[in-house]
Amino acid sequence: MSTLSKPMRYTLPQSFVDSSFFSKLAQLKLEKYKLDSTTRDIFGYQSLPSKLNKFDDVPTVSLDEESFNQDASDSTKRILQGELINVNTIEEFKNINKQNLLSSWGRALQEVIWKSRDFDCKLFFKFAILSFSDLKKYKFYYWLAFPTLQSNWTKLEEKNVDKETLELIEPYLSNSEGQQQQQQQQQQQFYQFSEKKLFSTFDIAKDHTFVFFDSCLSHDKRPAAQLKNYLYYLAYKGLKTINLIVYRNNGLSFQNILELESAVSPDELKVVGWERTSQGKLGPKMADLSALSDPHELAAQAVDLNLRLMKWRVAPELDLEILKAQTVLLLGAGTLGSYVARALLGWGFREINFIDNGQVSYSNPVRQSLYNFKDCFSDNGRGATKATTAAENLKSIFPGVRTSGFDIGVPMIGHPITDEETQKANYQTLEQLFDKSDVVFLLMDSRESRWLPTVMGAAKGKLVINAALGFDSYLVMRHGNANQHKENKLGCYFCNDIVAPEDSLSDRTLDQMCTVTRPGGALMASSLAVELLVSLLQHPKGQNASHNDSSSSSSKFGTTPHQIRGFLSNFTQSLFFSPSYPNCSACSPSVVTEYRQNGWEFVKKCLNDPEYLENLCGLKKVQEDAELAIKQLLPQMDLDEDDEDNEWLS
């Protein structure tokens, strides 16, 4: 036996925080906590004393995704109660008074100890975390604390534990009455012995031996620091001297005689416990999940971040899942198609397909954001095909998007059949893509190329968004559908025409071969087209939403207009409504019915003979009635051959 007189020394606890803990924290921050930084209950895990092995030389508290589970349980581990404070800015994390925070946790623990009647480790050993989650960079700053109350015990003597005492202690680690009772016993970290009998209460006038089942197997004689809270309790109860046995299941048990130098004062509470870094310094830690996660998964989370922030900061009713569920078809992969695709990505759409039969030219990359200079040439001396290149480049921007490109031409009215086999195959591909799509954007550079997709959209009940450009103007509109009431049915792109679309591509001059527009118009039209789609999808009636319903209860994103016309010459924008035209060459009942019944044969007739379409929908009769009305309005008089008006009338 040696005679000593020096303070007790302890092994400080440490934490092991699994990456799943931060993943769960990020999810809860976005979906539940939001800007609320109030204290949250969490749980940690620690091995039972009987389950420790040679590697447990430091008392370790582990945290993972189950730490947020209120019903957490594990028969092989000790569950510890903890608190989480997740602040909203890095400045708040840095500037918060750490000592005051630790003291507040210590005061709460002190109150628990005062009221305690036993030595339950759930009450005596708690932990807390201060954290900040940088969800844009997937970095998590955190600092754990194990609040520990100080009392002035001095070690007077140190000696080995005799065999008789060990025999008295060990049954509590290997109880013969059953596994369940053994686990319950092991939840008790501290036992009191008097005259070799176990007591639940004690008399401070008697000599007492206390056994601490150590939570670490350190090679030196430093018990885990959580012992200090038990010693504080004994000091608070008024004990002056104790015989302390630190029991370890690796045979390195030891015994100390402790004497209290000064009584604890509730008003002068001293609390320590901030975790140290691996270098032994006081300071927070940082977990960088970007280095551990799949880059594709990180990209998906980053894409959703702005939308989730929008949802819990500005628009809590925003339905993001309905956007992800849409399959979108873009007819045209040029200027409008490129910008529409990028805007759809920003809104979280996950399936976007392209149709275009053009090649990338040298003038494209500066105006069409999905192409680069290298796409302007290939081994055959021509530019890369637009549709497939657009899909490839969109996937290189965000690998999580499902996208394909189809290098086909859309059969156009006014352009007679020249290769029926090819054109019919293109038609069939277009029809298949329509059937699998929820939304179709018409973004082509000619009027006649929009006719067949408009007919298909009306016949199949698809949500069709149309965007068209002038030199300094643009039009964005949504097409009506058969489910809308007859009086409120919205018109399509062709409802204002009194003639069927015809060939506008032949014999064009250079300025007509290119889409000559002010560059900003395409960006504005594309963004408005996507925003119109999102507003419709957030409306309870979807594409059947009224064009003039501006009530706050109708759509989560304001109005759902029919047409948006913008004019860059004076920077104005107006909303218009155009009803469905009964004799429309694209969406009238007669055209839709004929298409549904005869499919390609009907389309072939229209392509070869536009007059057939005009007779079918009634436009021919409208034209004849108009000519007749004009004649009836003119004065019925004989005009002299020299009359200056005669030339005008002829």
Pairing state between β 2-7 and 139-149: unpaired
Which are the contacts of 77, defined by CB distance < 8 A and separation ≥ 6? 45, 46, 47, 48, 51
Report the b/e string of 23-41 with b at 16+ CB within 10 A. bbbbebbbeebbeebeebe
Question: Which residues make beta-bridge pairs with 259?
Answer: 154, 241
CA distance 230 to 613: 93
8 Å CB contact between 420 and 394: no
| Separation in Å, CA 268 to CA 107, 195, 211, 380 | 11, 35, 28, 85
Residue by residue, DSSP assigns 158-189 as: EEPPPHHHHHHHGGGTS-TT-HHHHHHHHTB-
Radius of gyration of the chain (CA): 39
Which are the contacts of 260, defined by CB distance < 8 A and separation ≥ 6? 151, 152, 153, 154, 235, 239, 240, 241
8 Å CB contact between 455 and 430: no
Residues tagged active-site: 514
Can you read off the two tokens belonging to residue 562?
A: 């029919």
CA distance 41 to 401: 38
CA distance 83 to 295: 31
Which residue type, as a one-letter code, is found at position 509?
T
Strand locations in 317-400, DSSP E?
A: 327-331, 351-355
CA distance 275 to 294: 30
Can you read off the two tokens belonging to residue 33?
A: 């906590």
End-to-end CA distance of the chain: 133
